[in-house]
Amino acid sequence: MNRKAIVALTIAGSDNSGGAGIQADLKTFTRLGVYGTSALTCVVAEHPGRVSSIAAIDPELVAEQIKLVFEAFPVGAVKTGMLFSSGIIRQVAKQLGKRRGLKLVVDPVMVATSGAALLKPEAERAMAKLLFPQAALVTPNLDEAARLVGKKLRNSEQAKEAALELAKKWKVPFLVKGGHLMLAKAEDYLAWPNGKLKTFTAIRCKGVQTHGTGCTYSAAICAGLAKGLSLESSVGAGKRFITRAIQRHLRIGRYTPLNHLSA
């Protein structure tokens, strides 16, 4: 029996530990019934507790990967993750700019959970200038949103204001993830350029490592968009998916990775 596949593309780095990056994205796509394709931007040697080293893929090779995926597959939606350099960002923006009506989720991956910067200032500027305007949604975590607005975000009201400010500035929806606020519940704030704001709330799962949650969340949203769901429905479904992946986490040695395939 022939089945028409729904296809999504992730443009991101490789996490050899399997919890984040393209590994997390492809697991998420598979679990949600979407055929996953990928374009690799960098190779990261890491485990959930430490990043050892990062090697970038040549920007031209990144562009070639994207080009060939679009030649062969009817891509329904795209997400970007760790893009590493301004050179890669320019090539990604150039390739995606050729696709009219593209549903693009930009996960900025500017600041690690530890607070360490993952992009140099020139790469941050290139991402904002070249990719944000193409996006159907941008999904910064709290630290990334703070970096984008230029001030610390200490509570939910400030996070909401930042989401609205960024959506208005870039004229695209922004989802500011509020997990780092450590509220009683896990809250995220979706803002539209017209000033509309919606809060997504879930139970907070304590004592679980959060490695790969941002990648997984944005991949789940991308899968929803590829299936034809509205942005609001895709974010809601993504929120439920990431919550289940955390709740049903695995125990492997001293680590508690997300359980993508049981979410």
> What domains can you pick out in the chain, each with its CATH number?
7-262 (3.40.1190.20)
Active-site residue 212, yes or no?
A: yes
Q: Given this model, what pLDDT does residue 262 score?
A: 86
For residue range 53-89, list pLDDT tens digits in order.
889 999 999 999 999 999 999 999 999 999 999 999 9
Identify the burial level of 173 via C-beta atoms within 10 angstroms of its C-beta, where 0-12 means exposed, 13-18 middle and 19 or more buried: buried
Q: Given this model, what pLDDT does residue 259 score?
A: 84
Active-site residue 201, yes or no?
A: no
Q: Given this model, what pLDDT does residue 116 score?
A: 63
Active-site residue 215, yes or no?
A: yes
Active-site residue 253, yes or no?
A: no
Q: Place 10 in a pLDDT band, splitting at 50, 70 and 90.
A: very high
Q: Given this model, what pLDDT does residue 178 score?
A: 83
User: Catalytic pick from 212, 216, 239, 256?
Assistant: 212
8 versus 17: which is more confidently predicted?
8
User: Catalytic pick from 37, 41, 213, 243?
Assistant: 213
Active-site residue 178, yes or no?
A: no
Q: What mean pLDDT is predicted for residues 145-164?
A: 95
Q: Given this model, what pLDDT does residue 12 score?
A: 98
pTM equals 0.95
Q: Report CA-CA distances (Å) from 73 to 35, 40, 84.
A: 10, 17, 26
Q: Report CA-CA distances (Å) from 16 to 41, 46, 144, 222.
A: 14, 7, 24, 22
- 7 DSSP β-pair partners: 35, 75
Q: What three-state secondary structure class fits 262?
A: helix
User: Catalytic pick from 81, 214, 224, 238?
Assistant: 214
Active-site residue 210, yes or no?
A: yes
- Asked whether 21 and 15 are in contact (CB, 8 A), the reply is yes
pLDDT at 263 over 80: no
| DSSP-derived secondary structure for 43-106 | EEEEETTEEEEEEEPPHHHHHHHHHHHHHHS-EEEEEE----SHHHHHHHHHHHTTSTT--EEE
Q: What mean pLDDT is predicted for residues 30-59?
A: 92
Using alpha carbons only, what angle is made at residue 214 by residues 208 and 215, rounded to the nearest 5 degrees?
Answer: 115
253 versus 218: which is more confidently predicted?
218
Amino acid letter, 159:
A
Mean pLDDT score of the chain? 92
Q: Given this model, what pLDDT does residue 202 score?
A: 86
pLDDT at 48 over 80: no
The tally of CA atoms less than 13 A away on the side-chain side of residue 253 is 5
Length of the chain as a residue count: 263
pLDDT at 114 over 70: no
261 versus 9: which is more confidently predicted?
9
Q: Given this model, what pLDDT does residue 53 score?
A: 86
Q: What mean pLDDT is predicted for residues 29-44?
A: 97
Q: Given this model, what pLDDT does residue 113 score?
A: 62
Q: What mean pLDDT is predicted for residues 139-147?
A: 94
For residue range 220-241, list pLDDT tens digits in order.
999 999 999 999 999 999 999 9
Q: Given this model, what pLDDT does residue 128 score?
A: 97
19 versus 169: which is more confidently predicted?
169
User: Catalytic pick from 27, 41, 215, 243?
Assistant: 215
DSSP secondary-structure letter at 108? Answer: -
User: Catalytic pick from 28, 210, 216, 243?
Assistant: 210
pLDDT at 137 over 90: yes
Q: Given this model, what pLDDT does residue 99 score?
A: 93
Q: Place 2 in a pLDDT band, splitting at 50, 70 and 90.
A: low
